[in-house]
Amino acid sequence: MKLKQSIRYQLEDYKASVLVYYCAVVALIVLMSVALGAVAGAGSNLEMSGISAMSALFLFICGLCSLHDNLPMLLQNGVSRKTMFLARLVVTGITAAFCAIVDHVLSMVINLLARPFFSGYTVSLFEQEYGSIYPSMGAVPMTLFSLLFSFLLLLLASCLGYFIIVFFYRLSKPMRIVVGVCAAFLLTFGLPGAKMLDSVFLGEQLRAFSQQYVEPVADAITASPLLTMGCWALTAVALSAVTWLLLRRTTVRR
């Protein structure tokens, strides 16, 4: 019973956010369509994509905001950390599936409404990346693959956001600052710095290793939608497992 209550409680946090998000997405798409249609002229061929990418960013941010209020509230009401985490997994799956379906339906509606004005259309992230590889795939298989592709991407984004917030929640305030600064530094200067160190001190051995071993594996994964989705699913499972290890000993911060 507490699991159902926890699921309902955590879903309530998403309802208003999801509604506001999709209202903003629809408004943005309408404005972009009108602007591009006016610039390109009637009868122009316009292609739009990226709805799933925006939804992934949205669920990532939602994951970052899913701990500070839920943890003390649920613990005060006698809900164990295990129940809270299981409810979180269910909520993550529900919201990822819902957003994947809404994104696809939204693309279909946009394509239908845009026909009287210009020959524009929207494509899913799967169609954009792999549509040319599978040109003979029927509409139904393409739709199913697109939904699964978007679902796993959104699931991974939400799991990543939740992992980050749980990880930072466990750290002391000084360590949060240190880790945050180091992460920002690595994201900004990590790759250029690694290239410089490799060139100056290692004689570009790191680059040779990457070209020989890392890049072929990465290319093989990105070239196959099944491998890509499999990697996303495994990463989401790994992040969830580590998140649980961190969460089960987490105490409420005052």
Reported as a single tens digit per residue, the pLDDT across 86-95 is 999 999 999 9
Helices (H), the chain: 2-40, 51-64, 70-76, 81-114, 125-130, 139-170, 173-201, 205-209, 215-223, 225-247
In tens, the pLDDT along 192-235 reads: 777 777 676 666 777 777 777 777 888 888 888 899 999 999 99
pLDDT, position 174: 87
State pTM to two decimals: 0.86
What single string gives the DSSP state of each residue in 182-211? HHHHHHHHHHHHHHHHHHHHSTTHHHHHII
Cβ atoms within 10 A of the Cβ of 164, count?
A: 17
According to the model, what pLDDT value does residue 251 have?
78
- Residue given tokens 């298989």 in the structure block: 141
Render pLDDT for 101-121 as a digit per residue (tens, 0 to 9): 999 988 888 777 766 655 556
pLDDT at 107: 83
Q: Where are the domains of the chain?
A: 2-170+224-247
pLDDT category, 58, cuts 50, 70, 90?
very high
pLDDT grade for 151, boundaries at 50, 70 and 90: very high
- For the cut 80, the answer to whether the pLDDT of residue 83 exceeds it is yes
C-alpha neighbours within 13 Å on the C-beta side of residue 42: 2
pLDDT at 181 over 80: yes
* Ranges 71-80, 110-119, 231-240: which has the least confidence: 110-119
- pLDDT, one tens digit per residue, over 21-46 is 999 988 888 787 777 666 655 555 55
Greater confidence, 120 or 130? 130
Report pLDDT for 120: 56
* Secondary structure (3-state) at 121: strand
pLDDT of residue 72: 84
Q: Look over the chain and give the mean of its residue pLDDT values, rounded to a whole number.
A: 83
User: CB atoms < 10 A from the CB of 89, how many?
Assistant: 18
Q: Provide the token pair at 227.
A: 């491998």
Q: What is the pLDDT of residue 135?
A: 64
Which of 129 and 161 is assigned the larger pLDDT?
161
| Arithmetic mean of pLDDT, 118-125 | 66
High-pLDDT (> 90) share of the chain, %: 32
